[in-house]
Amino acid sequence: MKKFPTLTISNHPLIQHKLSYIRDKTTSKKVFKELVDEVGTLLAYEITKSLPVRAVQVDTPLATTTCHVVDAERVVLVPLLRAGLGMVDGVLNLIPNCAICHLGLYRDHDTHEPVTYYFKPMPEPEERMFMMVDPMLATGGSAIASADLLKKNGAKNIKFMCLVAAPEGVEAFQHAHPDIEIYAAALDERLNDDAYILPGLGDAGDRLFGTK
């Protein structure tokens, strides 16, 4: 039995290669953002593999054939602000017509508890697949609160994608939301006393937006 049944780590060589540069503290802000987007694209490819498709008839220059398309409007990207914004362009590269539902919350510096400051619910939530994105799953508090909010507003199908996860956060999240699959590029060792992920990549929001 897997310790974390809801967690999938992508061991794709390109994801692991790019993550090495993302972790490196000497990587510039520009390159950091580019790589976060690129890994976002690659993880989105994995996370969308079970999306339902619909048959359509297409006229090629030579014949009519049956093809399969995704209802992209039914896919809702949910970036957890701020740092989740860093992965939005990467996912849009793959699914340009998906909806985007911003969810703003930050982790209180002293208590590490999430504080929600922005959320605009989507219409017809039960029809859609919600894809939460945030580079970091640390204590799990932010991701749990976000999934709570989406479910309270009617979401039935949610997935969560992050770059780096801590075992503490995965455990808490899968306990709170055993129905939600987590896709990550890495499962790290542990949290430090400040609830930062070790070895991690530092503060994702600060590195993306240059706020330190």
Ligand X SMILES: O=P(O)(O)OC[C@H]1O[C@H](OP(=O)(O)OP(=O)(O)O)[C@H](O)[C@@H]1O
Ligand Y SMILES: O=c1cc[nH]c(=O)[nH]1
CB 157 within 8 A of CB 130: yes
Distance CA 140, CA 174 (A): 9
Please provide residue 149's backbone torsions phi and psi, each rounded to the nearest 5 degrees. Answer: -65, -45
CB 99 within 8 A of CB 76: yes
Instruction: Reduce the DSSP state of residue 41 to 3 states and report it.
Output: helix
**Residue 137 near ligand X by CB under 6 A:** yes
Which one, 121 or 199, has the nearer CB to ligand Y? 199
Considering only the C-alpha atoms of the chain, give the largest distance between any 2 of them, rounded to a whole number of Å. 65
Residues 5-44: x where in contact with ligand Y by CB under 6 A, - otherwise, as a string: ----------------------------------------
**Residue 36 near ligand X by CB under 6 A:** no
Could you tell me which stretch among 22-30, 38-46, 48-56, 74-82 binds ligand X (CB under 6 A)?
74-82
Query: Is 5 annotated as contributing to ligand binding?
Result: no
Which one, 6 or 139, has the nearer CB to Mg ion? 139
The one of Mg ion, ligand X, ligand Y, none whose footprint includes residue 200, by CB under 5 to 8 A per kind, is ligand Y
Residues 92-111: x where in contact with ligand X by CB under 6 A, - otherwise, as a string: --------------xx----
β pairing state of 136-137 and 157-165: parallel
**Residue 205 near Mg ion by CB under 5 A:** yes
Count Cβ atoms within 10 A of the Cβ of residue 129 and give its class: 0-12 exposed, 13-18 middle, 19 or more buried. Answer: buried
Site for ligand Y in 93-152 (CB under 6 A): 136, 138
Could you tell me which stretch among 1-9, 68-76, 117-125, 193-201 binds ligand Y (CB under 6 A)?
193-201
Judged by phi (left if over 0) then psi (alpha if -120 to 50, else beta), residue 121 lies in beta
Query: Is 180 annotated as contributing to ligand binding?
Result: no
β pairing state of 99-100 and 129-133: unpaired
DSSP states of 150-168 as a string? HHHTT--EEEEEEEEE-HH
Site for ligand X in 173-202 (CB under 6 A): 195
**Residue 71 near Mg ion by CB under 5 A:** no
Which residues of the chain form contacts with ligand Y (CB under 6 A)? 83, 136, 138, 196-197, 200, 203-205
Annotated binding site for 5-phospho-alpha-D-ribose 1-diphosphate: 82, 107, 134-142, 203
Which residues of the chain form contacts with Mg ion (CB under 5 A)? 203, 205
